[in-house]
């Protein structure tokens, strides 16, 4: 899979470092969690979809690590770094063994068809 990303050559040298490092602390925190835990759910408060994903994982008996970043009212700029890093436009972002598997409905589908258990085996 390939997705379009603005090439470094198309970014003025004076701002390349700022583009490369903008809010990398949040990306690094998620990368570290994904490397350390089998299942990671990244969400935000006031959004019902991360809660839905966590409820489904709880019902399936799947342990997970939950990272929450702000709400609709704050922290959106920092969350944008995660969206740009993953290419996933919404929350939650659910990772299984280092792989982004999607959001709440995607996790529900993986649980329903038994694939989540296979991914965790």
- Which residue segments constitute the domains of the chain, with CATH numbers given? 9-120 (3.40.30.10)
- The sign of the dihedral angle between the CA atoms of 4, 9, 10, 14 is positive
d(C-alpha 10, C-alpha 114), whole Å? 44
Instruction: Determine whether 107 is exposed, middle or buried from the number of CB atoms within 10 Å of its CB (0-12, 13-18, 19+).
Output: buried
Look up the pTM and report it.
Answer: 0.94
pLDDT per residue as tens, the chain (121 positions): 788 989 999 999 999 999 999 999 999 999 999 999 999 999 999 999 999 999 999 999 999 999 999 999 999 999 999 999 999 999 999 999 999 999 999 999 999 999 999 999 9
Radius of gyration of the chain (CA): 16
Partners of 63 in the beta sheet? none
The position carrying tokens 């809660």 is: 51
Helices (H), 12-87: 16-21, 24-36, 48-59, 76-86
The two counts, helices (H) then strands (E), for the chain are: 6, 4
What is the model's pLDDT at position 20? Answer: 92
What is the model's pLDDT at position 1? Answer: 79
């Amino acid at each position: 899979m390939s997705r379009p990303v603005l090439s470094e050559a198309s970014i003025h040298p004076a701002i390349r470092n700022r583009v490369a490092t903008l809010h990398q602390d949040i990306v690094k925190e998620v990368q570290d969690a994904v490397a350390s835990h089998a299942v990671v759910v990244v969400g935000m408060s006031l959004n019902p979809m991360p809660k839905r994903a966590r409820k489904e994982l709880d019902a399936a008996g799947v342990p997970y690590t939950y990272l929450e970043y702000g709400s609709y009212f704050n922290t959106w700029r920092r969350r944008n770094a995660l969206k740009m890093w993953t290419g996933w436009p919404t929350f939650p972002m659910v990772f299984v063994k280092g792989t982004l598997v999607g959001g709440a409905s995607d996790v529900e589908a993986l649980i329903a068809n038994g694939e989540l258990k296979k991914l965790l085996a």
